[in-house]
A and B are shown apart, each in its own frame.
Chain A
Amino acid sequence: MSSATFLGMPPFPEAARSAVADSRARHNLHKATHTIRGKRDTVIDELGDDWQHLRAEGEAVKTHTLRHLDHYLEKLEESVQHAGGTVHWAADATEANAIVTRLVERTGESEVVKVKSMATQEIELNNALEAAGITAYETDLAELIVQLGEDLPSHILVPAIHLGRAQIREIFLDKMAEWGVPAPEGLTDDPRALAEAARVHLRELFLRAKVAVSGANFAVADTGTLVVLESEGNGRMCLTMPETLISVVGIEKIVPTWSDLEVFMQLLPRSSTGERMNPYTSSWTGVTPGDGPQDFHLVLLDNGRTDVLADTVGRQALRCIRCSACLNICPVYERTGGHAYGSVYPGPIGAILGPQLRGMSSEVDRALPYASTLCGACYDVCPVAIDIPEVLVHLREQVTSTDAPLGEKAMMAGAEAVFGSSMALDAVQRAAGVVRGAVPEHLPGLAGKWTDTRDVPDIPKGSFRSWWHEREEGR
């Protein structure tokens, strides 16, 4: 039993190359993303103009909260403490992992059940717990599949979106026994049979576990209430049955009040699963005597978020509510899948969030802002109006201002010199007109990246401007 990691993955263009060549994964992804897209369109179209009003309201609430984050964080801390919970502050992944490990060790337990959580994936909590001899059991169906398969998540909402049901059956048959109740003999790849195998496997864990770890979709500052939206009910089992509950939550997850929460309860399900309402919404406020976990800890996670907040263009990424609508609409994601992005946050939002959280020093993070055609479809569907193309360009500026590839820098400088004067441009166009017949079908270097798959257009005898000037002279 071990957990995989994104560390050591190649930068996007290289990772994408093998992903694009995997026709089965592409087929699975095309089908899955287009199905969710269709469902989303239906439940958003039915709202008419209301959708844009909701979207503007969601954007406004998040922008306001982020602007006054210091205030709302203290308010949240006060509310949670008042309701009987304990609040911990974690500056980075190491601190957060140490806090959670210490809290689990204090209970004397050596296993925890987990609710699907992006924050704990981000800090690789499972690996840290494993190093301390604590086993973390993922209980979200797709997270369970990924964990059993020693695989990595490839989608925010549907981490196993890259796998077909035949592959899932294999994983269940091979791996379930190592972790607990084995898969039944003769298991088929019928979705109902697979779900039942997972249900039986997980039920034993829910009944046994004394400690649960979760994230949260929202944290209401006013009352100290945490909220998780899910589809399966497995999250609810984790959140209600164990004695101790530890929730790791990014500091940007705050909303001020319940009436602000109401906006997101409409935005999130429609944007993520394409439903008017998700099947299970669990909310809990500190500790309620005799009901649910009697020991509750909230770990507030920074891990780069205050750095993102300091960037006036990039900070809008912190509005993200992890709905995945941008992944589902993205033509690049559809063809590469999530692993190519080298992080738990794939797709368009991952291309702007990951590099900002981690600091743009690695090859992977410097390639991500370029993993987009800037087509703008992500911005259109974003329920909190994050202008992803704008942030991508902003991050590209950071890449080129520190350490741009030399060849590209020279090409850009050359292009600027040509475009710096109409006479220089005219001279280049005339030269092109002379060599036009001699352009080979396959070009070397960077241009070869074009001619590998595409023909170059025929170079005309003369430019438009030369034609125009001849016409003017002839008048």
Chain B
Amino acid sequence: MRIALFITCVNDTLFPDTGRAVVRLLERLGHEVVFPSGQTCCGQMHYNTGYRRPAARLAVRFVQTFDGADAVVVPSASCAAMVRKHYPKLGRTGSRLSRRMADLGPRVYDLTEFLVDVLQVTDVGAYYPRKVVYHPTCHGLRFLGLGDRPYRLLRAVRGLELLELPGATECCGFGGTFAVKNDDVSAAMGFDKARHAVETGAEVLCAVDNSCLMHIGGTLSRQRSGMRIAHIAEILASTEKEYATL
């Protein structure tokens, strides 16, 4: 299958390792990955902060870039949710644009749902000998309804010990511009999330969204906790051979 990768602006700029992991993983599973080079940002930050018109312009750009794709894979649940759930509301009701957006939406997948639902694999042949906790991000959990898909993928990873994260379904406190607009509350929520994770004794906290991980990881790092963060793609991409280089 020919898969169009929407890397997202955050991953592209700050977490290229995640993008490389997605490419490695999908190619290892025998699929062709393309990267439409006109892509930039889905407009989620603008939309969520109340800047609807810039968000709509970025949405148009996204639709033009990915229009013909069979499947668009996104290593970020919140960006996938932006395209699938919110784009159809951005065009005028009944307009050609909103129809195109509604048409593209169902073909846009978070990485984990693409693996489990479309490619129908849970054992992707990964090896990752670490104690890991999974933080279900809000957009993955409540907006996309990822359910147990990420857990099924992680449980099939050889060497990986999946620990239970207390208070898992509670938001980490990132919330986009919330993190700076309401920094005290954001920090308090991040602190509690980090504390719950550290108390499990896990070495790595993983999730399907690097923006949440940037917040939790920034908190863990400031606390000198020794716990590291990893996007789930990086865990699923690693094998015995590649593990040494990670």
Contact = CB atoms under 8 A, between A and B. Distances in A.
Interface of A: 12-13, 16-17, 20-21, 26, 331-332, 335-336, 369-377, 379-380, 393, 395-401, 404, 408, 412-413, 415-416, 418-422, 425, 428-429, 432, 446-447, 449-450, 452-457, 459-460, 462-465, 467-469
B39 to A, nearest CB: 7
Given A460-B16, A464-B20, A13 B181 contact: yes
Contacts of A395: 50
B219 A450 contact: no
A13 B177 CA distance: 13
Given A16-B185, A396-B49, A459-B14, A331 B170 contact: yes
Task: Determine chain B's interface SS by DSSP, over half rule.
Answer: helix
Interface in B172-221: 173-191, 214-215, 217-219, 221
Identify the interface centre among B45, B46, B52, B185: most chain A CB within 10 Å of its CB: B185
A419 B9 contact: yes
B109 to A, nearest CB: 18
Contact of A370 (B13, B178, B190): B178
Given A429-B13, A465-B35, A373 B46 contact: no
Nearest to B169: A377
A393 B13 contact: no
Contacts of A400: 49-51
A450 B138 contact: no
B223 to A, nearest CB: 9
Nearest to B137: A375
Given A416-B57, A454-B187, A464-B20, A422 B40 contact: yes
A396 B170 contact: no
B54 A416 contact: yes
A332 B11 CA distance: 27
B114 interface: no
Contacts of A449: 179-181, 183
Contacts of B57: 416, 420
Interface string B121-149: 00000000000000000110011000000
A376 to B, nearest CB: 4
A453 B46 contact: no
A325 to B, nearest CB: 15
Given A446-B180, A450-B180, A464-B7, A415 B46 contact: yes
> Main secondary structure on chain A at its contact with chain B?
helix
B41 interface: yes
Q: Which 4 A-B pairs have the closest CB atoms?
A: A396-B50, A373-B175, A454-B218, A375-B171
Contacts of A398: 50
B46 A464 contact: no
Interface residues of B, number: 65
Contact of B142 (A336, A376, A408, A463): A376
A455 B222 contact: yes
A20 B184 contact: yes
B170 A370 contact: no
Contact of A377 (B9, B16, B61, B171): B171
B245 interface: no
A221 B39 CA distance: 55
B12 interface: yes
B1 to A, nearest CB: 19
A12 B185 CA distance: 10
B42 to A, nearest CB: 9
A429 B15 CA distance: 12
14 contacts: A331-B189, A335-B185, A379-B142, A393-B48, A398-B50, A400-B49, A412-B46, A416-B57, A422-B37, A429-B12, A446-B180, A447-B180, A449-B180, A468-B23
A21 B186 CA distance: 13
Nearest to A16: B185
A370 B171 contact: no
